[in-house]
Structure 1
Amino acid sequence: MLFPSVDTINSAFKAPVEAPSKSKSFFVNAAAPSVGKIELYSPEYYYTCTLGGILACGPTHSAVTPLDLVKCRRQVNPALYKSNVQAWSSIIKSEGFGGIFTGLGATFIGYSFQGAGKYGFYELFKKKYADVVGEEIASKYNTLVYLAASASAEIIADVLLCPWEAIKVRTQTTIPPFASSVFDGYRKITAAEGFGGLYKGLSPLWARQIPYTMVKFASFEKTVEAIYKTLPGEKADYSLLAQTGVSFLGGYIAGVFCAVVSHPADVMVSKINAEKLPGESMGAAVGRIYAKIGFGGLWNGLPVRIVMIGTLTGLQWLIYDSFKAFVGLPTTGSKK
């Protein structure tokens, strides 16, 4: 089933917890998270991880809509605003306070779908690929397993995200906004360009998101592994508070790498959704836009995106692993 049972949720509150040992840190020797009634790698396990991905991605991306709005507008027109603060002030003055949340609806829907695909399929592919190559090889070359699993998951996740990303970017990068709501944007794009208009940015979205997600998951797993190697004791010796704290730290570090690796493609996605001409091929659009903005233009808005993606990624792993722990599943990363 998609949602954890009432008994599973209740057991998360009723499970006995050992008192921390006086001879060890507050974070050490708390009761290890126990696997509840959700069997690892069962259909219910993957459904639960999918729900965790929705909770991790939809709300967090929505929360940073004001940052994302300014980032996208500055990517399309670097001369539009002098700073983020000036941008928000200008938007509020001309569009009202709600103006800084332009694109919120499409963001919430799109990234909820993407989170479902990203996390749910990552857990599935990570297990399947490890089974294919065998336990010994999977353990020795675990980074390759993480990379392959995350890339495979993101291919699917982006198909779910793309229509809503197209609506979001078109709405955010036009002044006044292209659409009054996510459904108004859907209607206008499909009326003018057909259903395919919602997917014209899929190729650059893959170019942005697949490397991003590969770095996000692989660097998170390896960072978490490295953190636990520097700490005394086994992962299971640490409290859930400590383990989710490690998840946040590992996620933030991974997010910084993600932002840098995927930023040029992120700029191109914004440009293509805003400027691609009717009937123009993707290659021609990319070439024309690159000729106009040059290599330097591919890095517009990077500092803002580092802050945004670092925070987003840290919070997503914190929410995802907290939810897994809440329903009785182990947190992600490091079996030490």
Structure 2
Amino acid sequence: MSDSVKTRPFTIPQFSATDYSSFFLAGALCCTISHGGMTPIDVVKTRIQIDPKYKPFGFVSGTRYLHSQRRPFSLANRGYEYWKKYFVTIAGDQETAVKYRTAIYLGSATVAEFFADILLTPLEATRIRLVSERGYATGLVSGFTRLAREGGVAQLYAGFLPILCKQIPYAIGQFTVNEWAHEVVFRNMSEETKKSLSDVSKFGISLGSGIIAGFAAAILSHPADTLLSQINKGHGPTGSMVYRLTTLAREAGFKGLFAGLGPRMIMTAGLVSSQFLMYGAIKDALGAPPGLEIHKE
């Protein structure tokens, strides 16, 4: 290993089924809590994307308009650790893992998100239909049932391609940028400083890294998020999904594809930062081991 690449020695942890269950439970709990708190912002963002009446509004004015028209209603992914460990194992040794850490981050986020999206797509289609059509159903379960009954599997998975285009860049921004933000911070600290970090300092680093990752996730995934909202609303021509997406993108233009980005950046920064903070806290409470780190020192 060259002198310019210094790494902290690590061993690949042998996570048990209980450990992965703790990771899953921590991820599920933090996502449920954080998404629930951000639902009002998501409602406004989606309305700006798909409702012409909302085009002139920003987040604050859009929120006021939404409240004047209707009462917002509440709507009630973590294989990343598994796939990161899997790809580190394939790398074979520490030097190789650190050298190709970006590829490992990208690959882990992409594969984990792909499998998660198989389950997510029908729920996302239901959520957008609930947000975009007032009175469509009384909740997520009844909305899902109606959509499945009326449109079948084809309608539930109509947004699978655009949701992949949305969620994979989102996951890349969320996980990869968060890893890099932590690495940049710790690379500029001495070992003594790292060992003496207070809980407040650790919290600040996690919060700041999460906010930066949230901004990146929002920006990278927003064009596909806009198209997904349009597809699930039934907009666009008939034909293949690729044709519909390219037509909608051309009609929307650059400005249209990024409509609602401001509120979504606020929402996503809050979601991602809170999820990482809660994920760590819940894992600690459950006694789960720390995740695998392959940062370059």
- TM bucket, shorter chain: 0.7 to 0.9
What code does the residue aligned with 1:230 have?
Answer: N
Q: Is the 8 A contact 2:174 2:213 kept in 1?
A: yes
* Equivalent position of 1:93 in the other structure: 68
In 1, the alpha carbon distance for the partners of 2:196 and 2:85 equals 24
* Equivalent position of 1:182 in the other structure: 140
In 2, the alpha carbon distance for the partners of 1:326 and 1:242 equals 20
Q: Is the 8 A contact 1:321 1:331 kept in 2?
A: no
Aligned residue for 1:284, secondary structure, equals: helix
Runs of 4+ in 1 over 6 A off after TM superposition: none
1:161 is displaced (CA, Å) by 1.1
In 1, the alpha carbon distance for the partners of 2:225 and 2:32 equals 19
Aligned residue for 1:100, secondary structure, equals: coil
**1:21-36 → structure 2 map (5 Å cutoff):** none
In 1, the alpha carbon distance for the partners of 2:291 and 2:182 equals 11
In 1, the alpha carbon distance for the partners of 2:198 and 2:14 equals 20
TM-score where L is the length of structure 2: 0.86
In 1, the alpha carbon distance for the partners of 2:150 and 2:175 equals 38
1:331 is displaced (CA, Å) by 6.1
Q: Is the 8 A contact 1:244 1:331 kept in 2?
A: no
Q: Is the 8 A contact 1:244 1:322 kept in 2?
A: no
- Quick one: which of 59, 62, 78 aligns to 2:36? 62
Aligned residue for 1:194, secondary structure, equals: helix
Q: Is the 8 A contact 1:146 1:217 kept in 2?
A: yes
In 2, the alpha carbon distance for the partners of 1:247 and 1:333 equals 14
Where relative contact order (Cα < 8 A, 6+ residues apart) is larger, the structure is 2
Q: Is the 8 A contact 1:225 1:333 kept in 2?
A: no
* Equivalent position of 2:101 in the other structure: 142
In 2, the alpha carbon distance for the partners of 1:63 and 1:264 equals 23
List alignment gaps of at least 5 residues for structure 2: 1-12
1:61 is displaced (CA, Å) by 1.2
Aligned residue for 1:300, secondary structure, equals: coil
Any idea what the Cα deviations from partners look like across 1:30-53, whole Å, max 9, x if unmatched? xxxxxxxxx852221111111111
1:268 is displaced (CA, Å) by 0.6
Relative to structure 1, the CA distance from residue 317 to residue 331 in structure 2 (aligned partners, 3 Å threshold; closer, same or farther) is same
- Quick one: which of 149, 152, 166 aligns to 2:125? 166
Q: Does 1:257 align with 2:181?
A: no
Relative to structure 1, the CA distance from residue 242 to residue 41 in structure 2 (aligned partners, 3 Å threshold; closer, same or farther) is farther
Q: Does 1:314 align with 2:273?
A: yes
**1:121-136 → structure 2 map (5 Å cutoff):** 121-135=79-93, 136=95
What code does the residue aligned with 2:92 have?
Answer: G
* Equivalent position of 2:8 in the other structure: none
What code does the residue aligned with 1:83 have?
Answer: G
- Quick one: which of 203, 208, 228 aligns to 2:161? 203
Q: Is the 8 A contact 1:67 1:304 kept in 2?
A: yes
TM-score where L is the length of structure 1: 0.76
List alignment gaps of at least 5 residues for structure 1: 1-38, 109-114
What code does the residue aligned with 1:100 have?
Answer: P
Any idea what the Cα deviations from partners look like across 1:94-117, whole Å, max 9, x if unmatched? 33xxx212xx33xx3xxxxxx2xx
Q: Is the 8 A contact 1:213 1:258 kept in 2?
A: yes
Aligned residue for 2:137, secondary structure, equals: coil
In 2, the alpha carbon distance for the partners of 1:125 and 1:237 equals 31
Any idea what the Cα deviations from partners look like across 1:271-328, whole Å, max 9, x if unmatched? 1111247964312322332343223210101111111111211111111112223334
Q: Is the 8 A contact 1:224 1:333 kept in 2?
A: no
Q: Is the 8 A contact 2:97 2:294 kept in 1?
A: no
In 2, the alpha carbon distance for the partners of 1:85 and 1:211 equals 27
Q: Is the 8 A contact 1:147 1:214 kept in 2?
A: yes
Q: Is the 8 A contact 2:238 2:244 kept in 1?
A: no
Q: Is the 8 A contact 1:324 1:331 kept in 2?
A: no
1:131 is displaced (CA, Å) by 0.7
Q: Does 1:330 align with 2:290?
A: yes
1:212 is displaced (CA, Å) by 1.5
